[in-house]
Chains A and B, each alone.
Chain A
Amino acid sequence: MNLLDLSQASPQARAASPAQVQLDHQGRLRHFLDIEGLPRSILTEILDTADHFRGIGDAEVKKVPLLRGRTVANLFFENSTRTRATFELAAKRLSADVLNLDINTSSAAKGESLMDTLVNLEAMQADAFVVRHGDSGAAHFIASQITPNVAIINAGDGRHAHPTQAMLDMLTIRRHKGEFANLRVAIVGDILHSRVARSQILALNTLGAAEVRVVAPQTLLPVGIETLGCRVFTELEAGLKDVDVVIMLRLQKERMDGALLPSESEYYRRYGLTRESLAHAHPEAVVMHPGPINRGVEIESAVADGPRSLILDQVTNGIAVRMAVLSMAVSGQMKARAERRDERTRGAGA
């Protein structure tokens, strides 16, 4: 029982929920920080918009003018070549100007605080920040601190969330399996450290998947993960039984040093996705992986390159989803800004 009603506290002492931060008062997307707090309608809108944008990649001129004159800043406090490249390409296909900043090796290394960095970047008048950060909650923190005119897109924060990766996976699943209602999905690997897995579980549940499973040894399972809405398996064969989608996660080599696993070879024997282990899944099950893959550690080459693998499809879909999210969030900000301007004008007139 809480004895004090903290909702009375001042905004600076309170933390806003993901829904409060991400959506404006009309339910439009202002920021894209986390799957949590977003309704199914927004996720579906992202998927529908991404489906539409997917065709642009096949066109002769791979550009639309939706964000012409707008600036998207990629703020990567943590390295990620692939994610940054797809965000850059997505912004450019929307005709935005793109600023890439690898903050890990510049200002932060000189001791500049995160807030100082943000204030300076804000002064450059970007319309969207794509943020990758090693600390959970960093994107949420940035969204709560900066001017409401900048859309924040989370490109991965600590172990917390990687919502665009989850949405590109959802797009990939939907394009191959149709609706989610009858799907059983298994996520296999390092759930403990995976921001992708957390976002995938939430997205699959929001979109109405029949069953979400996580499969890992206990050392790679976060305590209470089942409360996110998934069944927990510690044996691969049982976890894969009759599933329609298998999502493999990348295994970082330092997990061996951290005494979480004894060796790569034992991990591969128990949790590696091979043709034999895949046979436990539904005969038409598809295989996904956020990449880059460790062949012979979490997945067999024959599976990664096989006919049921959607790994390259995921990359293509990644650009379309990021275009969708950028365009929705920036246009949401623009509409909100216009409304604030109108309100001020009306106020001045009155």
Chain B
Amino acid sequence: MKHSLINARVIDPSSGRDGQHDLHLEGGRLVAIGAAPLGFVAEQQQDLTGKWITPAFVDLGAHLRDPGPRYKGSLVSESAAALAGGYATILPRPDTSPVLDSASHVRTLLDRARDVAGVRLAPLGALTQGLEGDLLANMAALKSAGCVALTNLRKPVRDLGVLRRCLEYAHTFDITVVFQAQEATLAGHGCAHEGAIASRLGLAGIPESAETIALTQWLLLIEQTGVRAHVSLLSSARAVALIRDAKARGLDITADVSMAQLHWTDEQLEGFNANFHLEPPLRSAKDRDALRAGVADGTIDAIVSDHLPHEAAAKCAPFAVSEPGMTSLETMLPLGLALVNAGMLSMPRLIESLTFSARRFGLEGGRLQEGECCDLAIIDPQCCWTVGSDTLLSAGHNTPLLGMTLTGRVHQVLLGNAVYA
């Protein structure tokens, strides 16, 4: 079918395009931007005056909870949430049950996703067997099965010799390694940023050095091994500075931050609000401001959801024993727009940060390119909507935004021939 989208503001950072353009689609492919090709007669024309078109988003590191505790979320529910949030592809993490450390587990997940999910999956595999940090995972097999990168998440690889071998082996097979920097012995059983607020509330703190010491070790090994690396979920100003220095030294490294870290600080822990129990913890205003600046100047390449849905009981507990994490796929766009409206980010930079993972991990999408499969999000920037149990599609409603009216919503997502509204 031939289909034209007209009168929308088109924002595509990959081509530098930001202006009013018409898009012409045929058979799920983008055939032209601007004037229709000769002989192209649209069977359907959609007037998108007042709306924006961007590449559909690509998210590194949402937890699907499936396979595993499906009462917290399933492929079906979280795929729907991802599409509602404007995502075409998500790169789910390997800490499922079973852990994604074998090719058969990965294939099973991808097969099931093809059957039940609309959103595309490009999973992260485990860097070590069982994420235990002791033995190398079958990395080449994981890559063949469809993993686009490997990670041990925040779980420690205690023996630096083993870690070095992991990176060398990953480099051998040209696999990107994703890090979440946290030195377990410094983090201990902490649940909040180590600072005055945690001290007053009597919550065990996680010092900033838990992140920066681990990151420093990783960076030295990345440099030594030459592995392609991505650091996920930065939380501190000093970590941003370390990434900036590493990039300046020429390391093949990129980084991301969660949307929550760009909005909130540890001040939100007042009153023991378990919705703000996150890993890594929300840190100080100085850290948040440095993270915002890092995204704006490109030191931090991507903004990720760190989506982690929970059932109500997981948060219905004293802060330290509540489960960390926030459901966030569906609120990424309005929170991003809030940063744009406050002048902290340009709109193209926001879209670039939400689509960056496609480029970094060699995935389709993340750009509007003539002749390619059309993955795009249609955004209504003025739409006001209330975050509520009736509006969220994720199984998890663990968000501090519940009951709030936000501005900006994804109106439709087009993935090839499929339309999700």
* A195–B195 alpha-carbon span in the complex (Å): 16
- Interface-side segment among A12-20, A291-299, A328-336: A12-20
Contacting residues, chain B, for A17 (C-beta < 8 A): 270-271
Q: Could you tell me if A114 and B318 are in contact, using CB atoms closer than 8 angstroms?
A: yes
Q: Could you tell me if A136 and B320 are in contact, using CB atoms closer than 8 angstroms?
A: yes
A138: CB under 8 A from chain B? yes
Q: Could you tell me if A137 and B316 are in contact, using CB atoms closer than 8 angstroms?
A: no
Partner of B199, one of A18, A157, A223: A223
* A12–B195 alpha-carbon span in the complex (Å): 26
* A115–B312 alpha-carbon span in the complex (Å): 11
Nearest CB of A to B211, in Å: 15
A261: CB under 8 A from chain B? no
A57: CB under 8 A from chain B? no
A198: CB under 8 A from chain B? yes
Contacting residues, chain B, for A2 (C-beta < 8 A): 263-264
* A17–B272 alpha-carbon span in the complex (Å): 9
Nearest CB of A to B191, in Å: 9
Q: Could you tell me if B402 and A157 are in contact, using CB atoms closer than 8 angstroms?
A: no
* A36–B199 alpha-carbon span in the complex (Å): 13
Contacting residues, chain B, for A3 (C-beta < 8 A): 263, 338-339, 341-342
Partner of A136, one of B203, B313, B399: B203
Nearest CB of A to B320, in Å: 5
Interface string of B158-175 (1 = CB under 8 A from A): 000000000000000000
Q: Could you tell me if B202 and A159 are in contact, using CB atoms closer than 8 angstroms?
A: yes
Highest count of chain B CB atoms <10 Å: which of A4, A157, A227: A4
Contacting residues, chain A, for B406 (C-beta < 8 A): 4
B317: CB under 8 A from chain A? yes
Nearest CB of B to A75, in Å: 13
| Chain A contacts with B in 109-153, Cβ cutoff 8 A | 113-115, 133, 135-138, 140-141, 145
* A16–B204 alpha-carbon span in the complex (Å): 21
Q: Could you tell me if B313 and A160 are in contact, using CB atoms closer than 8 angstroms?
A: no
Partner of A137, one of B194, B319, B405: B319
Q: Could you tell me if B201 and A137 are in contact, using CB atoms closer than 8 angstroms?
A: yes
Contacting residues, chain B, for A96 (C-beta < 8 A): none
Q: Which residue of A lies closest to B267 (CB)?
A: A2
Q: Could you tell me if A4 and B404 are in contact, using CB atoms closer than 8 angstroms?
A: yes
A43: CB under 8 A from chain B? no
Interface string of A199-224 (1 = CB under 8 A from B): 00000000000000000000000111
B418: CB under 8 A from chain A? no
Q: Which residue of A lies closest to B289 (CB)?
A: A1
* A17–B271 alpha-carbon span in the complex (Å): 5
Partner of B321, one of A10, A18, A135: A135
* A1–B402 alpha-carbon span in the complex (Å): 21
B275: CB under 8 A from chain A? yes
| Chain A contacts with B in 220-259, Cβ cutoff 8 A | 222-225, 227-228
| Chain A contacts with B in 158-188, Cβ cutoff 8 A | 158-161
Contacting residues, chain A, for B335 (C-beta < 8 A): 4
Contacting residues, chain A, for B363 (C-beta < 8 A): none
Interface string of A16-44 (1 = CB under 8 A from B): 11100100000000000000100000000
Partner of A10, one of B203, B316, B402: B402
Interface residues of B, CB < 8 Å — how many?
A: 43
A345: CB under 8 A from chain B? no
Contacting residues, chain B, for A81 (C-beta < 8 A): none
Q: Could you tell me if B196 and A15 are in contact, using CB atoms closer than 8 angstroms?
A: no
* A172–B313 alpha-carbon span in the complex (Å): 42
Contacting residues, chain A, for B271 (C-beta < 8 A): 14-18, 21, 140
Nearest CB of B to A216, in Å: 13
Nearest CB of B to A38, in Å: 15
| Chain B contacts with A in 312-347, Cβ cutoff 8 A | 313, 316-321, 335, 338-339, 341-342
Q: Could you tell me if B401 and A158 are in contact, using CB atoms closer than 8 angstroms?
A: no
Contacting residues, chain A, for B339 (C-beta < 8 A): 3
B400: CB under 8 A from chain A? yes
Q: Could you tell me if A138 and B402 are in contact, using CB atoms closer than 8 angstroms?
A: no
Nearest CB of B to A95, in Å: 32
* A223–B207 alpha-carbon span in the complex (Å): 10
Q: Could you tell me if A6 and B404 are in contact, using CB atoms closer than 8 angstroms?
A: yes
B205: CB under 8 A from chain A? yes
Contacting residues, chain A, for B202 (C-beta < 8 A): 136-137, 157-161, 195, 198
* A4–B400 alpha-carbon span in the complex (Å): 11
Contacting residues, chain A, for B317 (C-beta < 8 A): 113-115, 141
* A113–B335 alpha-carbon span in the complex (Å): 34
Q: Which residue of B lies closest to A12 (CB)?
A: B402
Nearest CB of A to B83, in Å: 24
B273: CB under 8 A from chain A? yes
Partner of A135, one of B205, B263, B319: B319
* A225–B316 alpha-carbon span in the complex (Å): 28
11 A-B residue pairings within 8 Å (CB atoms)? A4-B335, A6-B401, A8-B403, A9-B403, A137-B201, A137-B318, A141-B318, A223-B207, A224-B196, A225-B196, A225-B199
Residues of A within 8 A of B (CB): 1-4, 6, 8-18, 21, 36, 113-115, 133, 135-138, 140-141, 145, 157-161, 195, 198, 222-225, 227-228
Q: A10-B388, A136-B202 are in contact. List 14 more A-B contacts (CB 8 A).
A: A4-B335, A4-B401, A4-B406, A9-B404, A10-B402, A15-B274, A133-B318, A137-B319, A137-B320, A141-B318, A198-B202, A222-B205, A223-B207, A224-B200
Nearest first, the 7 A-B pairs at minimum CB distance are A10-B403, A224-B196, A15-B271, A160-B202, A159-B202, A15-B273, A222-B199
